[in-house]
């Protein structure tokens, strides 16, 4: 008995076997969690397999017997191994293809992605959890205002909230990048917060820990 599945990539060179939690809601939760942690995906870097197994193994618990990794044997043997849910073909931490176990198979969608992410996060070592980042609202950087608290990714892969303390002055260039009007936070202050490019919110979206008060 089990809820089995196999995860591979478009390269089909390696595969991860899940004895439990092989439904699509769980698998997409594991993949999205790895994406949010900033891990490089397996088709780009073999360490991606290790990070995926680490996240899944932590979630599965102490036995460590519910997840395995092996050279991908081909769709037919993989389908036999993951006979409950079939094979998930992934790229960039997204499911891009499926090898289904039988005609008329219906994907499992019992658990909302947010609930899965929270459960996965709670099972990780404390210093590696995403924590409040998962519950924070995602907003365009252009909506961030002075005094907002936003999450910034740390070297460890965890996220920590920092206060927005300013915006790049007109024509300001830091490390060769024009940061005019770009918000920056009080994270690295050894050379002045406005002088460290890592303090600037350079992406299109950001997670805001504390919404701006009206």
- Residues 99-139 have pLDDT tens digits of 999 999 999 888 999 999 999 999 999 888 999 999 999 99
Q: Can you give the pLDDT at residue 26?
A: 97
Q: Can you give the pLDDT at residue 65?
A: 72
Write out 22-58 in H/E/C secondary structure.
Answer: CCHHHHHHHHHHHHHCCCCCCCCCCHHHHHHHHHHHH
Ordered strands of the 94-99 beta sheet: 67-71, 14-18, 5-9, 87-91, 94-99
pLDDT for 210 beyond 80: no
Q: Can you give the pLDDT at residue 214?
A: 46
**Diameter of the chain measured on Cα atoms:** 64
Give the angle subtended at the CA of 203 by the CAs of 199 and 208, to the nearest 5°.
Answer: 75
């Amino acid at each position: 008995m089990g809820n089995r599945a196999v995860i591979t990539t478009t390269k089909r060179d390696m595969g991860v076997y899940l004895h439990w939690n092989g439904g699509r809601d769980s698998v997409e939760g594991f993949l999205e969690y790895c994406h949010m942690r900033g891990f490089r995906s397996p088709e780009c870097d073999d360490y991606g397999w290790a990070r995926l197994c680490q996240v899944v193994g932590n979630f599965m618990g102490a036995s460590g017997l519910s997840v395995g990794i092996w050279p991908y044997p081909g769709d037919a043997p993989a389908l036999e191994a993951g006979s409950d849910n079939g094979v998930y073909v992934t790229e960039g931490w997204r499911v891009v293809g499926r090898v289904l176990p039988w005609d008329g198979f219906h994907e499992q969608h019992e658990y909302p992605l947010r609930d899965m992410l929270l459960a996965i996060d709670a099972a990780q070592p404390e210093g590696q959890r995403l924590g409040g980042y998962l519950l924070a609202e995602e907003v365009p950087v252009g909506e961030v205002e002075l005094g907002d608290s936003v999450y910034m990714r740390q070297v460890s892969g965890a996220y920590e909230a920092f206060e927005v303390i300013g915006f790049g002055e007109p024509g300001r260039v830091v490390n060769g990048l024009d940061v005019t009007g770009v918000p920056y936070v009080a994270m690295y202050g050894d050379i002045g917060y406005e002088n460290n490019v890592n303090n600037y919110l350079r992406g299109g979206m950001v997670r805001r820990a504390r919404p701006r008060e009206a």
